[in-house]
Amino acid sequence: MAARKPLIAGNWKMYGRRAALAEAVALEAAAGEALGRVEALICPPAVYLAAAAQALSGHAVSVGAQDCSPNAEDAARTGEVSAAMLADAGAAYVIVGHSERRAFHHESNDLVRQKAEAAQAAGLAPIACVGETEAERNAGEAASVVAAQVRASTPRRRAASWWLMSLFGLSAATGPRPWMKSGKSMRWSGPSWRDATAKMPKACGCSMAVR
């Protein structure tokens, strides 16, 4: 099996307007041949997904969503957006379990897993995010906490089209992480992390707000 290309995803969070999509199109020209060596996508707010998909149609930059409902079927869930709706709008990926969703909306590992599985059912590639808080890191629990998140948050059906992302940002530690110091992406010293993430497709992310 050929090695998968690294994934680079730009999460807009709750920033941006429709006019900013022109910058995403210009990104392809600026990146040049480098885009041929990676999978690149932007994740704008849901209201701009269809416009982003249209603007980037035929381009090397894909479109992803920032979250989805855990409900795979249409249901009476006011304010939620299903993975099937995101796919219909032109998304190819969806982020689940972002640190801000876990912190502000108290999303559990089980809920994140349900979202990832709903995304798979809709044909989307879920990007499952995991990461420790500053308190957990300072207590020396980072590896065990993240390994537990991996086991409980990732889809049970390990299809080829999904990603695991180590994410740190809001309420999480700043400064070098253990895998940063080693120079090896997603490598922890504890066996719990290695066992939990063996053979998983991995990406590395840093959560930040760019104004």
CATH topology of domain 7-206: TIM Barrel (3.20.20)
pLDDT computed for residue 208 by the predictor:
42
Q: What is the mean pLDDT of each run of 10 residues along the chain (211 residues)?
A: 74 93 83 81 95 92 95 92 97 93 93 95 91 84 85 73 53 46 38 47 48 39
Residue 197 · residue 185 · CB < 8 Å: no
Report how far residue 157's alpha carbon sits from residue 116's, in angstroms, rounded to the nearest whole number: 10
Residue 203 · residue 165 · CB < 8 Å: yes
pLDDT computed for residue 159 by the predictor:
52
Q: Please give the radius of gyration of the chain, using alpha carbons only, rounded to the nearest integer.
A: 17
Enumerate the domain spans of the chain.
Answer: 7-206
Find residue 41's DSSP bridge partners.
Answer: 9, 62
Say which residues have a Cβ less than 8 Å from residue 24's Cβ, sequence separation at least 6.
42, 52, 55, 56, 61
Closest CA to 204 of 6, 3, 60: 6
